[in-house]
Structure 1
Amino acid sequence: MQANLPFGRRVHPNDEKALPAVRILFGRLRPPTTRKILMKLYYIPSACSLAVHIALRQVGVVPELVRYDPVTGKDETGAALKDVNPKGYVPTLIDKDGDVLTEVVATLVELDGRYPEAELLPVGGADRRRALEWLAYTSAELHRNFILPLFMDVPQTEDITAARAKVEMRLEHAAANVSASGPYFMGAQIGAVDFYLLVMMLWTGPAKVNLEQWPQMVAYRDRLLAVEPVREAMKAEGLI
């Protein structure tokens, strides 16, 4: 069984209404300064590493990007990713001190701790608990269930159909919880939950899940695609 990776597909302005016509101007979109801090991010275009890439740009860090090929197990220089991250997958982030950070949720939480002024997560209380809950939900219930319909190069099977149905159920739950009080998932402040959910929404096309059945999710996706750090990260990965 071979992995059929749909990543790297460019998002065209006319592709499923992927890019909105206007930029959303409310809510703080990015920190005021760009940090000159060396971080190296191993990535696959449009993979889950995109969520970390966007978060880095949101906090003002422009990472050194190293593209990884999951078929060969090597990066663009020919080096094996397992020499850096024994798990051999993205995201793999190396900070200025040489520490290696892996896993989407753990890395997003770590970035929030290092750059609290960017408010990738709420500071505390019920809002923070809810944001952490949604990060865990996105990882365990959405990301995991995308694996069969998105990655496996096999004929349609009952397992793939069941996985796609689970994705739709999980997206329906997310759609019911998009904030009514602000442009982003948690309200007025954009953050880590938005970046991870955006990647999941971008996967719906290749996974043959119709996001249009939840108009509020389509509008939410389009608002995120208008945000400057999102556009910068996607442009750097060759997606727009």
Structure 2
Amino acid sequence: MVERTFQGLAMDRRVVQRSSTRTGELQLASVQAGTVTHFELIVNGVFLMATYNALSNRALIDTVMETSKSGRHINLLIGGLGMGISLRQALAYSNVRSVCVVEFESRIINWNREYLDNADVLDDVRTEVVVGDFYEYVQGNPRSYHGIVLDIDNGPDRVVRPENRRAYSVSALQTLRTRLRPDGTLAIWSHAVNRSYERALDRVFGGVTRQQTCDHSLTGKPLEGVIYAVRA
């Protein structure tokens, strides 16, 4: 247990679950701040995301939905389940017909059920969960989507496992463009601006927008990030 304070509140951090996987160690930690319990996901000792980072996760979905011209019956693809926040936000839209989530670690899916109260969205009839590598999924599956969200790492230059770099490669972007329906949007989260990645997005899609995000932190320090959005 690690004790911290935030705005006069004592905070207790405890490891809830720890799991060794083929790619390293996964850790789910709980942080009690007063009467509120948050959860953090750590991969190989690197902080990946937390339930108090909900704003940026929701913004990814909102970016895709706000730019969509499809109207009703929207089909979405999400790379990375994480804390389930993006999935829940997607299902909050009544015009979303289906959401396919590709998550590499089955343990993260189990934690969403057991600890994160996300059984309802995982069991929603519109939800499909695929256990596997996101890059391999989009390369091998010809389905197309009105919107795609990529949030499997802290960005193209800060991946949790080396294989994930493929998901940010030019070849992956070219494939993702073919997986988008006309006027569909791809939204990608990054911990910071990445100029070379911006240029790659621009070359493949012929234009890119960048949106700054600022999320919550239990230490009072802002957690800034970037959402890149491109259109088919």
- From the two aligned structures, give the one with the greater helix fraction: 1
- From the two aligned structures, give the one with the greater strand fraction: 2
Quick one: higher RCO (CA 8 Å, sep 6+), 1 or 2? 1
* TM-score normalised over the length of structure 1: 0.31
* TM-score normalised over the length of structure 2: 0.31
